[in-house]
Amino acid sequence: MFLSQIFFREFQGASDKTVKNANYIFKPDGSLHITEIDFVTNEQLNREAKEKIDVSANWEDYPAFGKYDSIIRKERGIQFLLPPLPARLVLAYRVHAL
């Protein structure tokens, strides 16, 4: 299985109002596309990695039924890409079987 996307949503205080959104799209060849949206300033930033990145930490063996810890872990060796994590953040993953 390959971790192809990570989504971040930051909320305003204790509300359900989204103030920032970031989407990291990984490809098995090491390509990376990042889209960041600031809903407060209404700005969108699209970036592409200039060079291929190491995506070896994005690969996982298919887990046994009920044993999903390996595919939902946050620590994957890609922290240098991630924004500082605010106190109230939703993190979601998209994993594809390849």
pLDDT of 22 above 80? yes
Cα of 86 vs its chain's centroid, Å:
14
Note down the domain range covering 56.
2-96
Confidence category of residue 96, pLDDT binned at 50, 70, 90: low
| φ, ψ of residue 35 in degrees (nearest 5) | -120, 125
Looking at the 3D structure of the chain, how many domains does it have?
1
- Judged by average pLDDT, the poorest of 47-51, 58-62, 85-89 is 85-89
Give yes or no for residue 88 having a pLDDT over 60.
no
Q: Is 44 exposed, middle or buried (0-12, 13-18, 19+ CB in 10 A)?
A: exposed
Banded pLDDT at 94 (limits 50, 70, 90) = low
Q: Which residues contact 12 (CB under 8 A, 6 or more apart)?
A: 18, 19
Grouping H, G, I as helix, E, B as strand and the rest as coil, residue 73 is: coil
Q: Compare 89 and 66 and report the one with higher pLDDT.
A: 66
